[in-house]
């Protein structure tokens, strides 16, 4: 696998959670960029060659739904995994992202979902 590891953008206002998620994903072999809120995330999304986004839903200022909408406008093909502490998010938000999971489901679920999102790209 000469290919460079995928670059994942994590956006979350939970700083400890974000830090732990970064370590976890790096251990799993991804390169990780982090942003503490929606606008910082969008800036990185625009400037960096992001392969995939792990996005928290509930954030101050701009929530995950709004951030996802903007990302879709900018680069519609980049997969987005929406993480949320809530169950039952609005359906228009769910339809906008590729996958969605509830926080607390555990790292294996996160890694496998992330893997399934990135496989088609790695195959290509």
Partner 1 sequence: MNLSQFNRILRQVFLLPVVALLLAAVALYLQIQGANSTVRLIQESDAHISQVSRLNTLILNEESALRGYENTSDARFLQPYLDASPRLQAEFDKMRSLPGLDEVEKGYIDDLIEKHQLWLDAFALPVVATIEAGGQVRDVDLNLRGKSMMDDIRHDLSNTTHNAEQRRAVRINLWQDQVRRMEWFLLVLALCVGIFIGLFTRNRLHAVSDAYRTSLDVLGRRAEEIFQSEQQLRTTLASIGDGVITCDTEGLVQMMNPVAMELTGWSQAEAYGRPLETIFHIVNEATRATVENPVSKVKRLNRIVGLGNHTILIRKDKTELHIADSGAPIRDRTDGIAGVVMVFRDITLERKTQDALLANEKLAVAGRLAATIAHEIHNPLDSVSNLLYLMRNGATKEESVQFMDMAEQELARVTQISRAMLGLYRESRAPVLVDLKEMLQEILLLMERRFSDDQVIVHTDLPSGISVDAFPAELRQVFSNLITNAAEAAGPGGQVNVSLRPQPALSINGIKQESGATVTITDNGIGIPEEVQPHLFQPFFTTKGERGTGLGLWVSRGIVTKHGGTIDLASDTSEATHGTSVSVFLATKPTINAGGD
SS3 53: strand
CB atoms within 10 A of CB 121: 14
Query: How open is the CA angle 29-41-58, to the nearest 5 degrees?
Result: 100
| Total residues interacting with partner 1, rule: CB under 8 A | 26
Enumerate residues 85-114 that contact partner 1 by CB under 8 A.
Answer: 85-87, 102-104, 106-108, 110
**Whole-number Å distance between alpha carbons of 109 and 9:** 18
Of residues 7 and 62, the one with the C-beta less far from partner 1: 62
Does residue 115 interact with partner 1 by CB under 8 A? no
113: its two tokens: 């979902």
Which backbone phi and psi does 5 adopt, to 5 degrees? -60, 150
Of residues 52 and 110, the one with the C-beta less far from partner 1: 110
One character per residue 8-47, x = contact with partner 1 (rule: CB under 8 A): -----xx-xx-xxx-xx--x--------------------
**Whole-number Å distance between alpha carbons of 81 and 9:** 10
SS3 22: helix
**Closest approach of Cβ 23 to partner 1, in Å?**
6
- With CB under 8 A as the contact rule, the residue among 59, 67, 80, 117 that binds partner 1 is 59
Contacts with partner 1, residue ranges (CB under 8 A):
13-14, 16-17, 19-21, 23-24, 27, 58-61, 63, 83, 85-87, 102-104, 106-108, 110
């Amino acid at each position: 696998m000469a290919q460079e590891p995928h670059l994942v953008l994590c956006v979350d206002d939970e700083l400890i959670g974000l830090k732990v998620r970064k370590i976890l994903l790096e251990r799993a072999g991804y390169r990780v960029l982090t942003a503490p809120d929606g606008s910082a995330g969008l800036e990185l999304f625009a400037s960096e060659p992001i392969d995939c986004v792990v996005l928290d839903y509930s954030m101050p200022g701009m929530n995950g739904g709004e951030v996802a909408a903007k990302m879709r406008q900018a680069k519609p093909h980049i997969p987005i995994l929406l993480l949320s502490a809530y169950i039952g998010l609005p359906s228009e938000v769910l339809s906008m992202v590729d996958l969605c999971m509830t926080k607390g489901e555990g790292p294996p679920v996160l890694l496998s979902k992330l893997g399934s999102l990135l496989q088609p790209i790695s195959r290509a």
